[in-house]
Amino acid sequence: MKVAVVGYPNVGKSSLVNRLTQSREAVVHERPGVTRDRKELQTEWNGRRFTLIDTGGVDLEDRDEMQRSIQEQARAALADAQLALFVVDAQAGLRPGDEEMADLLRRTHVPVILAANKVDSVKDVTLAAEFYALGFGDPVAVSAAQGLGTGDLLDRVVSRLPDESEVEEDEDLVRLALIGRPNVGKSSLVNKMLGSDRVIVSEVAGTTRDAIDLPFRFEDRRLILVDTAGMRRQAKVGDSIEYYTALRSRRAAERADVALVVCDAQEGVTSQDLRIAELAMQSGCATALVLNKWDLTGGEDEPEFDLDHERARVNNKLRLRPRVLTTSAKTGRHIHRLLTEAFALADRTSGRVPTPQLNRFLSDIQEIRQPPAKQNHRLKLIYMTQTAERPPRFSIQVNSRNRVTRDYAYFIENRLRERYRFEGIPLIIDFVERRERRGERAGRPARGESRAEMREGRDGHGRRRDGRDDDGATGATGADDFAA
């Protein structure tokens, strides 16, 4: 169930949403007009779960292009909601803008609850009485800043929600975040993927302020698309609003399964794009880079743009070697492929590689490049298995962890990416030293083992100690991780 939170600019809608959801997801600032797109946040009260839709302040007299877009987003939120929470400013009193918003709500035929905000003390409760004139019944006096009356407001909201059976959580759900610098076309891509103007698009950089969650279905699979604010270099963050919007973009990457780093194809992959991609990969989500505005470069027919060079540069700069894709939000080029790639990355992140395949891989890489040796003792890679997913984690048993060099660990990691298409996916590889038997450490044969077998490198059952015929038992100790 969805509840649209609407009202005149700067009445405290986002502050109230944060209070009711016990979060700081909605950007709050004393400057009016900070919220622009509609943002959905889930909350729960008395066992009922519902979604609050935070919207931008609506001033119907304002003819500015941005304000018209905000009004369209508020109307779309009301069309999508089963209940409207109309927020007014008790300190400012009844204003013409409140009456215009009330007229708009009456035309939508959505049930309305009136909340008189900024009642920060008990003596101010009487200020709410003025809003009876709007015709929506008893106003609920609340304070988003102090928390006064919020319990009564939630009780009123839950009592007006229609009954709905619980919806089971879809384990196949994928969270896809679009992140990148300002004005590279993230919101345009979101609208093209959804097939509608769901978020505000403007040539003015920094239009998007919140991280907007947008659920939809693609080829019978559920996906939550997250549009985020542009991320500048720290030195160029100009004010507190921009700081908090960038912070929410980082948090969006942390809770995403897949991140698409959107770049401007006219500029190529910049150093800031690489930093943003590194940030996404450090958060643990699978990542790919997307060159948007490809139509403006002339595409493959443009001799000045070398796509192979951009891909080689990304592979050289980023350890996880994410793929570099091309698209155009204007023409719709490769939009379908981007979503297909996002699901493929999510599936590979949560999938498992069978142990027999991993041990064949281990044998193949040792033939390609012999393991390093220290002090005339060579590293032996004995056995490999996958121990976890999201992100994928692998364990390799070795005869001596001290003989594992960083260069050889990177070599294994890169071959693993190539073999199983782990480009852009964080990997963890544990090199685990196998314990020797007590008799072996003393230079004596173990129980049931002859000295001849010991010299030949076999145990008491005639099996080789190098692990080629090993049955997979580990007997391993803990080891430091080589995290990718």
Is 448 annotated as belonging to a binding site?
no
One DSSP character per residue, 15-41 reads HHHHHHHTS--S---SSTT---S-EEE
Q: Is the pTM of this model over 0.75?
A: no
11 has binding-site annotation:
yes
Q: What's the 3-state SS for 423-435?
A: CCCCCEEEEEEEC
Range with top average pLDDT, 59-63, 116-120, 181-185, 467-471: 116-120
- Give the pLDDT of residue 140: 92
Residues 178-204 have pLDDT tens digits of 888 888 888 888 888 888 766 544 454
472 marked ligand binding residue: no
Question: Is position 204 annotated in a ligand binding site?
Answer: no
Tell me the pLDDT band of 483, cut-offs 50, 70 and 90: very low
Task: Please report the domains of the chain, with CATH numbers, ordered by start residue.
Answer: 2-160 (3.40.50.300), 186-347 (3.40.50.300), 355-433 (3.30.300.20)
66 is in an annotated binding site: no
330 marked as binding residue: no
Tell me: is residue 180 an annotated ligand-binding position: yes
22 Cα distance to chain centroid: 20
* pLDDT-based confidence at residue 348 (cuts at 50, 70, 90): very high
pLDDT tens-digit series, residues 46-65:
878 888 888 877 766 665 66
What is the chain's alpha carbon radius of gyration, rounded to the nearest angstrom? 29
> Any known ligand binding at 239?
no
> Is 236 annotated as a binding-site member?
no
Report which DSSP code applies to 62.
Answer: -
181 marked ligand binding residue: yes
443 among annotated binding-site residues = no
Please tell me whether 118 is known to bind a ligand. yes
Residue 7, annotated as binding a ligand:
yes
Q: Is 117 annotated as a binding residue?
A: yes
The reply, when asked if residue 209 is annotated as ligand binding, is no
183 is in an annotated binding site: yes
Q: What is the pLDDT of residues 267-279, one digit of tens each?
A: 889 988 898 888 8
Cβ neighbours of residue 174 closer than 8 Å, sequence gap 6 or more: 221, 222, 223, 224, 257, 258, 342, 343, 346
Does the annotation list 58 as a binding residue? Answer: yes
Q: Which amino acid is at 398?
A: V
